[in-house]
């Protein structure tokens, strides 16, 4: 697992020099949320694709 500093440094290296604060902030937000989601899935478990389809089938027409 990488540290937040390392993730931010990598993000800044990958973005164009002309990136706005808002653009950078959005990418930081995405990194944070996907990291939290991955941690939650690991600690609480995640649904298989098939199980998710079964559960969503009640609300979504095929």
Domain boundaries, the chain: 4-56
pLDDT at position 47 is 83
CB 7 within 8 A of CB 31: yes
User: Tens digit of pLDDT for each residue in 7-48?
Assistant: 999 999 999 999 999 999 999 999 999 999 888 888 888 888
In the chain, count of helices (H) and strands (E)? 3, 0
pLDDT at 30: 95
Average pLDDT over residues 44-55: 87
pLDDT of amino acid 32:
92
User: Alpha-carbon distance 57 to 42, whole Å?
Assistant: 25
Instruction: Give the DSSP letter of residue 60.
Output: S
Q: How confident is the model at residue 5 (pLDDT cuts 50, 70, 90)?
A: very high
């Amino acid at each position: 697992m990488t540290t937040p500093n390392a993730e931010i440094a990598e993000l800044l290296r990958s973005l164009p020099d002309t990136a706005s604060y808002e653009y950078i902030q959005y990418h930081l937000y995405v990194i944070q949320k996907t990291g939290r989601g991955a941690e939650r899935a690991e600690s609480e478990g995640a649904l298989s694709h098939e199980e998710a389809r079964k559960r969503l089938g009640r609300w979504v027409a095929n």
